[in-house]
Amino acid sequence: MTAGLSSQFIESLTPGRIVILFILFCIACFIVDFTWQPSYPKSLPRLGSNDGYSGTIKNWLQYATRFNSWVAEGTKKYGKHGRAFVVPAAPARPKEIVVPRSQAAWFLEQPDRVLSTKESHRDLLFNDYQFFGEDDQFPIQTIHKHLARNIISLLPAVQEEIHGAIEETFANVKEDEWSSINLWEAFLGIVPRVTNSIFVGAPLCRNQEFLKNQVAFADDVVRNSFILMMVPSVFHPIVGPLISLSNRLHWRRSYAVARPTIEKRLNDMMCSDDYQPPEDMLTWLIRQAKLDNLTHELDPEKLSKRLLPVQFAAIHTTVITAHSLLLDLLLSDPSQHVLDVIREETFRVFQESNGKWTKNSLTSLHKTDSAIKESMRLSNFATSLTHRKVIAREGITNTVEGWHAPYGASLMLDLGNTHHDEDLYPNPDTYDAFRFSRIREEYEAKEEKEDPEEAMKIMRLGMVTTSDSYLSFSHGRHACPGRFFVAHEFKMILAYLLDNFEIKPLEERPKAMWLGGIKIPPVQVNVEIKRRSKN
């Protein structure tokens, strides 16, 4: 009887019915996902469609193209008036509560046991699949402890790699004719090598096979994160391991190249207390593991995996930012002569420091710093870089408005519309390269400088100083620990690039595309470049 029913059922499964059953199963999975997600108070205004399941499905379908505009609309309607609001999210993500800037202090002061940056990042990047379940806190904490104290001693090596990477990338560019160069590919040739000069040092930072696979791994993380966001959570145990096979492939290929370097460094540091290792991330990971008696961290394969989160965080964000910076410079108001001003400043300071960049000489590049900061303000590549997940079982109650966010809720600060707020930045949609250095110059031109509050404001104008109105490196205790290195890196790249090459200005800005909360840059852009005559 049972066999007969099974046979009849199998015979009834025509291709059309199989497709229908699969669609119904997927819909059921989406509904289960929806019911598992945290529910928010009705007092919080909503963006997007709110027509029950049908509205939710509509929002999911529109998430990729509408998320950024939803946040912009909500900020204009509610955030600017001190109210939090809710925006739709991808199918596998809970809706986002966008906290207004006026409540940023409350948001950022919450302890990690209540609002967690770590858990938010794990959810956004699907660490269990993409980073092989490794905890990313050890490498992040290591960066916090070691990078700032070693950054001065790292500058000569970074300068050498910048000069070498630019010359290698533009090796075929001649002095007497213009060459067409893809800007995205150019920065992919420069940034990974320079970044790895502080991660693994030379000569590994120059190994093209190693760099190619680190870049590919970062590409995998970005692509796979979006895919997993759009797939119901019930499918993640199947889809996650499958699509992250590319992550594992690129990690294994890079590890095959890096393994001799890692094993030698580990052996030298473990066998001799007198050995003076190169100062880079690899050394810091080993040193910190020894100090904390974390013997399980002292394994070559484990160390190579520990490099992955910082590689991902550093490479793509820096390439995107550098790409946008060059576009902003090449599209700047010709009457301001921005490129000439930066070229003059960087050349003069470089000569004054005898051809060797130092922390003080780089810090004195106020116009260059302003031009970079203004680009990061204007050309933000993400709707938000400041996310938190509620991990307190009892949830959290907002003390300003009184709403309650339950366990598992997702909260964020709006970066893009803060940076384009005309109350904070006059003409916010215009690239004003010297917006910040001009304020400094006006202050220094004053005969009386007795206002300590104004003096403090001037000190905070630099691109590495975060605030609730400048969120490019996030803000608060979880602000990007690598921002000081990034600032030096950008300045040295601009200095060498502008001193040695001419680049034709662009007539119109190529269009970027928003995909969820991330802006996809116009990677197809080519620029005309030629080598400058030293005469």
Q: How far apart are CA 424 and CA 410, in angstroms?
A: 26
Rounded mean pLDDT, 114-133: 92
Q: What is the pLDDT of residue 445?
A: 78
* Least confident span in 25-39, 171-185, 441-455: 25-39
Rounded mean pLDDT, 360-381: 96
Q: What are phi and psi of 520, to 5 degrees?
A: -85, 115
DSSP 404-446: EEPTT-EEEE--HHHHT-TTTSSSTTS--TTHHHHHHHHHHT-
Q: Is the dihedral of CA 96, 99, 104, 107 positive or negative?
A: negative
Neighbour-count burial of 3, counting CB atoms closer than 10 A to its CB (0-12 exposed, 13-18 middle, 19+ buried): exposed
CA 126 to chain CA centroid, Å, is 16
Q: Which residue is it, tokens 């946040």?
A: 71
Structure confidence at residue 9 as a pLDDT band (50, 70, 90): very low
DSSP 2-28: HHHHHHHHHHH--HHHHHHHHHHHHHH
Residue 92 has pLDDT above 90, yes or no: no
Percent of the chain's residues with pLDDT above 90: 74
Peptide bond into 203 cis (omega under 30): yes
* Least confident span in 102-106, 174-178, 469-473: 174-178
What are the b/e assignments for 169-204, b being 16+ CB within 10 Å?
bbeebeeeeeeebebbebbbbbbbbbbbbbbbbbeb
pTM of the model: 0.92
Do the annotations mark residue 271 as ligand-binding?
no
| Nearest alpha carbon to residue 257 among 303, 310, 204 | 204
Q: What is the pLDDT of residue 22?
A: 58
Mean predicted lDDT score pLDDT of the chain:
90
Rounded mean pLDDT, 230-235: 84
